[in-house]
Chains A and B, each alone.
Chain A
Amino acid sequence: MTALSALVRRDVRIALRVGGGALIGVLFFLTVVVLMPFAIGPDLALLSRLGPAILWLGALLASLLTLDRLFMADHEDGSLDLITMSRTPLELACAAKALAHWLAAGLPLIVATPVLGLLLNLDMVATAAVALTLLAGTPALTFTGMIGAALAVTLHRGGLLMAVLVLPLSIPVLIFGVAASQAVIVGPMTFGAPFSILCALSLVSLVIGPFAAAASLRHGLD
């Protein structure tokens, strides 16, 4: 247990310090959202209708881009080999790394959501709904994206290929995240049903992601 908490603390610390790049994700999120009014025009009514979708897409892309290097840096300095050889199960170590990544890169996105909601003309309730769905849904993005990160490090190849492989897996999260936020803003569906499915998706990926990532690390590293 201490080994895992030490791993989490180490990863969060590395991500927040110089060269970590966790906060670049927030900056990217901000930039994507700011780009949208330029693409679709500064129509406030339209922006508030598309707001949840824009925020969700931005969060999806931001978490995908920061995930690319989840295992890569550890592989380059050799600490990934120590992690795979240590007595802690590799699955738990992967889960700890993903948790640390979510704390460092996922939570700031949710904290930034109210500010961005202001830019997109979302009212208080809508912003709260989007932030809540992001809070429930971004763990699923991190834990499925971790599979792609593990493949990236074993294949020495990241970027576009990983995006192509991981994005289809994140479509259900996107569907139910946006559906839950839209349910609050326009109705007539209830918020509960899509939100429960979103939580279920997060829990399922919490179980499957570490195992798949550990399997691909174990079979792929040599």
Chain B
Amino acid sequence: MTLIDLANPTRFLALTARVLPWLAAATVILLTIGLYQAAYAPDDYQQGATVKIMFIHVPNAWLSMFVWGVMSIASLGTLVWRHPLADVAAKAAAPIGAAFTFLALLTGSLWGRPMWGTYWEWDARLTSVLILFLMYLGLMALWRAVDDPSRAARAAAVLTLVGALNLPIIKFSVDWWNTLHQPASVMRMGGSALDKSFLVPLLVMAIAFTLLFVTLHLAAMRNEILRRRVRSLQMMQASRVAFSSELGAGSRQENASKGAA
């Protein structure tokens, strides 16, 4: 089973129909475990109970960048290999990524209020994530603005790849500019700075959120394929109706001219 076998939408639908229930079940189980562990994680000596926001905030923030990465790979698939499902994947991922980005911003600002004393601060990472959110919304607007999906797909692919330049800026913004947001502490040289009692639930939550994304993404791709089928069926029907009414009008005219004669 390679990627090119999935170019057939029917085969893709059949495969995902089998895989999706398992993915959904795994997501629910991991989310339950992660939330349970997060709830029973010890309070931070400085931050108290608010540290638990981290278990929601950090996976959302990771996913907001991961989804753009997935969309960039799908865009390469559209432009380079012309894979028929690549633009479906890119289109389906955009709203999900926008939702993750929005949740990252929301939980971050809720966390920032007790910790930094402000809901919003124009610091480098917050600003660049906000730009990422705006770019998600712009991309969704682009998909909605053009009615021909394949034409929209190529424009969106170019834009996605240009926007991918923002990802390294977000990732390294906290290292380049020494600002309010703390620098990376989980993935860094010389091991994680996080205690094990925080790190384990965080990683479980990260895997659970990734699975959640994969589940939602596959379901959204299925919806998009079915939506396109409905659209082409409707267009076929519309053209058939137009064609038959044209015929009907023609025969009526013929009858009228016969009557006159």
Query: Interface on A for B, CB 8 Å cutoff?
Result: 144, 147, 150-151, 154-155, 157, 161, 164-165, 168-169, 171-172, 208, 212, 215-216, 219-220
Given contacts A155-B152, A165-B138, A171-B131, contact A219 B79 (CB under 8 A): yes
Residues from chain B with a CB closer than 8 A to the CB of A147 are: 158-159, 162
- The interface stretch among B4-12, B141-149, B183-191 is B141-149
Docked pose: A52 CA to B168 CA in angstroms: 28
Please tell me the number of chain B residues within 8 Å of chain A, measured between CB atoms: 24
Interface string of B148-184 (1 = CB under 8 A from A): 0001101101110111010001000000000000000
Nearest chain A residue, comparing its CB with the CB of B154: A219
Residues from chain B with a CB closer than 8 A to the CB of A154 are: 151, 154-155
Given contacts A157-B146, A220-B155, contact A168 B161 (CB under 8 A): no
Given contacts A157-B146, A208-B165, A219-B79, contact A164 B159 (CB under 8 A): no
Docked pose: A172 CA to B154 CA in angstroms: 25
Q: Are A212 and B162 in contact (CB under 8 A)?
A: yes
B15 within 8 Å of A (CB atoms): no
**22 pairs of residues in contact across A and B, judged by CB atoms under 8 Å:** A144-B162, A147-B158, A147-B159, A151-B142, A151-B159, A155-B145, A155-B146, A155-B155, A161-B141, A161-B145, A164-B134, A164-B138, A164-B141, A165-B139, A165-B142, A171-B127, A171-B131, A212-B162, A219-B79, A219-B154, A219-B157, A219-B158
Determine how close the nearest CB of chain B comes to the CB of A204; give it in whole angstroms.
8
Q: Are B159 and A165 in contact (CB under 8 A)?
A: yes
Determine how close the nearest CB of chain B comes to the CB of A86; give it in whole angstroms.
21
4 nearest CB pairs, A to B: A219-B154, A216-B158, A165-B138, A164-B138
Residue in B137, B157, B162 whose CB lies within 8 Å of A208: B162
Given A147-B159, A169-B163, 4 further pairs, Cβ under 8 A: A144-B162, A154-B154, A165-B141, A168-B138
Nearest chain A residue, comparing its CB with the CB of B122: A175
Docked pose: A151 CA to B159 CA in angstroms: 9
Docked pose: A219 CA to B158 CA in angstroms: 9
Docked pose: A219 CA to B137 CA in angstroms: 23
B135 within 8 Å of A (CB atoms): yes
Residue of A147, A161, A208 with most chain B CB atoms under a 10 A cut-off: A161
